[in-house]
Each structure stands twice: as structure tokens, then as C-alpha cells.
Structure 1
Amino acid sequence: MPPSIYRIENLVHRYNRQPVLTVDRLDIEPASIVGLVGPNGSGKSTLLKLMAFILRPSEGRILFDGLPAAPFDDSVRFQVTLLTQEPYLMKRTVFNNIVYGLKVRGDRGRWRQPVRDSLAMVGLDPDAFVRRQWDELSGGEAQRVALAARLVLKPRVLLLDEPTASVDARSSELIRNASLRARSDWGTTLVIASHDREWLYDVCDDVLHLFRGKPAGTGRSNMIFGPWVPRAGDRFGKLIGDGSYLDVSAPPGEGATAFIDPAAIRILAKGEVTVSADTVTVDGRVTRLSLERQSGDLFADVRVGPLTLVVRVAESHLAAMTLHRGWPVTLAYRPDSIRWR
């Protein structure tokens, strides 16, 4: 069996002596698509820079193809590339920006067609753009040129840090499609940090949640921040508007964050009103239905006040109810099923 393309072991990274990222073990398989989600400051960008071998971890090691690799090693330098949210282009033409990596890699001649192919891949007309200067591009065009400069290398790993956060809708779609084509055409491994969870859940083989610099599980999960208000008995709740609360078990501290597994929430069938005393209900509206690629499970996104909760629709309920976007539903869950961080 071939080794994982990445194996991260006992990693700790610090800024100014303060730990910002701790990963005990993480394996990423070749040609997979892995998503990274989490709030700002959770360590996503730091992890991508470490995986790009731009940074050296304070502790631990990162294996690439089963072997240790250090920043800027020749063994990884042209196999792994990172696209950040803000495109960095050199003060030169589009052609010379894209061809730069080929020159540094030592490729000689025959640059014209790879450059044209990479521009076409990101939806830019080669005839119109190869001679354009870097400062004659819109924001979305600049980001697509930056991606083309990475795709021209046909990398084994493409790391994407919020690649579509600052571009228009058309550029966003073209960047996504070009990234996925790299995987389908060349077997490129994709690791994508994004706040667009819907897109990640549609395309990723796995999604890793980072929270306060540590992995907080994989797959779909509901992450709910306080503040928490004392309620009846030993329960607490989060105000979600109109005097309604999302009830939870007692948080371990003021800054605690609640995690609810989508499988721990169920949608009550039409006419079902009886729930146990240790179960609470909350009303919402279905905003999206999606199938998980690997498991084939159906998930519903349900808007509850200002929150969106992801619910795994149980097989036992599929035959008993029909769900559509926009339909009102009632959710039921047990507060004691909540995990705290």
C-alpha cells in the first residue's frame, strides 16, 4: 500500500512562544480532497503553510510520501504549491508570471502551450491575457492568473487558503472548477480552507474541523458559540430570537463552545409531537438538502433563528416524510448529547 502523501505527527507550532496549532496525528491520502473549516484564528492558514513547507514546525514532523521534508527542499519544492486569499503577482506580464515557476524548476523552452493551457483552465482567453500587465487585471482575474501559475506546474498537491473569498461569483466558480479538474486530470491532492461549508461538503472526501488550534473532529458538525443564558433546572440556552432558546447542558465555562453531531438531531415527522422529557425541540426551516459523497447519507441544513444546524436525516424517517427547501420543520435533540470545547 503506498504511503499517505502527508503524515503529520506530534506537531506543535508556536508564534512568540504561544502555541497556535497542535496536531497529534493527521494522514492525507494521495488524490484526495480534504477541507479545513473553523473560525478565524483556528489555525487553518498556519497548517497550510506548514504543509506547503514554507514554515518549519516548532515541534513534531511532517512526512511527505513517507519521508521527512523541510522547508524549500527540492523533494517538495515543485510538487506542493499554495494559493492564498490575496493573489501575489510579480510586476510583469501575465505570461511571465505564469512561466516563472517553469523557469525556476529548470524547464527549458516550449513554455507557450503550457501557459495557454493553464490560462484556459481558469477561464481566461490566452490571446487576450498573455501580454497583459499584472496591474491591468481585476481582482478575480488576478486570482485566476495566480492559480494558473500554480496549475502550469501540474502539482501533486494544491493547497488553497480561502481561494474565493475576495473574488466575484464568476471567478469563484472558475477557480473551483479548475481546482477540481487538477484532481480529476492529474490526481492532484487538494487541501482547501474555506468558510464555504456547502461547497466543501459537496466536493471533499473528508472535512477536518479546527478549533483553537486543535482538530475538533471530522465530517459534518454543528459548532455553536455562546453566550449561554441560565435556564430552568440545570440547563442553559442561547437566545435565537423572539424569546426562543436553543437549550444545552451546563457549559464548562463562559467561553465554551458546543458541538452537536448531526446524527444527534432528528427532524420530527409530520404530526409527531411526543418526545421524551429529556429531549428538547426547536423550530426551523429547511434551507438545503445534500447527499454526502462517501456515505450516501442525506443531510438537511435547517435555519434556526440566526443559526444553521446540519441534521442527518435518519433512514427510518425517509419513507415517512418528504422534505423540501423552505419547509418548516421541528428538530428534537437531547442536551446531554452535546460535546463541549
Structure 2
Amino acid sequence: MEQLVQQMEAYKKEMAAFEGKTPEAVEAFRIKFLGTKGIVKDVMGGMKEVPNEQKKAFGLVLNEFKQFAEARYEELKAATATEGGEAAAGYDWSLPGDQIGVGTRHPLSIVRNQIVSIFRRLGFAVAEGPEIEDDWHNFGAMNLPEDHPARDMQDTFYISQNPDWLLRTHTSSVQARVMESQKPPIRVICPGRVYRNETVSARAHCFFHQVEGLYIDENVSFADLKQTLYFFVQEMFGKDVKVRFRPSYFPFTEPSAEMDISCLICGGDGCNICKHTGWVEILGSGMVHPKVLENFGIDPNKYTGFAFGMGVERITQLKYQVNDLRLYSQNDIRFLKQFTGAV
């Protein structure tokens, strides 16, 4: 017992002489003396070697030793806190702060907002819908029944069957929901992300972004469609861009056409981007199929309409000459910083 008392006195002197000028030093003190494997716990373990008749007296000594260690720890902790407070109080708050980097919108967001802005000036509202869709709104309502061969053009991510739920393959599903809930006249654009089971490469990705448009009213003609898209192209790419329409096929429009513009990379002379034709396809379009109108109780003898759809990645590629679609989703800060001035 006498030996333990001498050890405690030596430890008290060590604790009293300890200088903890930093929070790290104070923490080291706590671990050494008050930790689960610290000196205080080790000394208190010597209680089992004390004779029973001396345990009460020795217990008081141990308790006083423990209280001394805890008090010294609190004293050191308070001292470091005071020093930190004094340092903070003496800080010159008029000094300039650290520079904060200026961020920017993602290039796809920049172009999407530009597309939305252009069509809003033509009176188009913006409509959005769920990315997880049922088969009817994604395919059936768009004149694509289960056995339609055109479904093979859209490799689909199915989530469940019977009933079929899937990741939407186009934002035409949003058009379907608009026609389901509204009566003509209808004039909306539908931006959003879509998904298709395609191999990821410089020219394709398993997800991408679309902006589709729909206009239904009395006496809407193909001439209205062409003038709307002419206006969009000139506002997006400039007055000097040439435009051409090519006959095409889409199940939900009849007649249908794809629209090309003169290649902005080579000026129409021919390059890898335009496959040496001088033209680049940017969207598909056409007059809304009467069957689609009937699916939503819209009289095709009274109303007509047009629809179109474009890929935001393709428009961005042409506008900013991006040569790899994977760059949009890799979060490479070196790529994204190039668009700081384009907000």
C-alpha cells in the first residue's frame, strides 16, 4: 500500500507539471491518465492487493487521486479554450476572405434552358412527368402496341412485368399525360431525361436528355411545324444556318420528317461529324397521328397537331463542338470549367 501511495504522489507531480498548450496535448493528457488503459485506472486496479482492513482508508486516497487527475484535465482544457478564444477575439475581421470559385451550370442545363426560352417566346408551356412509366403512356398511347416492330428501335429498361413498368424511352410519355389531362388547344414542350439500353460510347449513352414539343389546335398544318422549327434553328444557331426536311417514319406522327441543319463544324464542306455529307440531323417531327388523338378522346376531324423531339446532347455537341457524349456525365472539372462564361 505504501508503494502505491508513493506512485500516486509521483503521478500528481507529473500532472501538475504537465503543460498542455494545444487541444492535441490536452487530449494526450486525458488518454495517458484518464483513458480506459490510463494510469488512474491502472492504479485503482491495485486495490485488490490491499488488505481488507485497509481498503476503506485506501479507497479514500484513490478517490482523491482520481479527482485530482480529472480536475487537472478540466483545468488544462479550459486554458486551451481561453487561449483559442483570445486568439479569435484578436482576429482582424476586416481582412479579405479566401476566394470562392465561381461555378457554372452544366452545359446540358445551359442548352436546355436556351431551348425552353426560345419555345416559351412562341407560347409553349413546360410540362414534366415521371421517369418511371407504365407501358401504356410510354408505348401504347403513342400508337406503339405490344407487337409493333418500331418498339425494337428503343431498347428498353423494364423494371417489372404484368403490369409493365419501365424507364421511359422518350418524353412522349409526358405528351400523353398532357393530352390525358387537358383539352385542346395544347401547346407544350417536354424536357427531361430518358433511358435506353445502349452501349456507352462517344456517340451514344444509356441515358440522355430530350426536349419534345406538342401543338394541337384547329387548323394546325405542316407549314406551322416548319415555321416553328425554322425559328428555333435560327435563334439557337444563327441566321446563316441552312435547314432541310427529309421524309421519315414515326408511329405517332403522319406524315413524318427528320430535320437537318448544315454542319456547324465544317460549314457544310464535309467532316467526320456530318459523315462528309455537310448535313447533321438534329430532330424528328411530324403531324400527330389521328390514332394518337383518338386515344385521348380528341376528335381528329376537328383538331390537328404537330410534334417534334430533339436530343439535348446533340444540340450541345453542335453548339459547343463537344466530340464525346461521355464527357457530359464524367464530372471532369476541366471540361465543366470551360462553360463558366456561358451561364
With normalisation by structure 1, the TM-score equals: 0.22
Q: Which protein has the bigger helix share?
A: 2
Q: Based on CA coordinates, which of the two structures has the bigger radius of gyration?
A: 2
Higher strand share: 1
> Given the two structures, how large is their TM-score scaled by the length of structure 2?
0.22
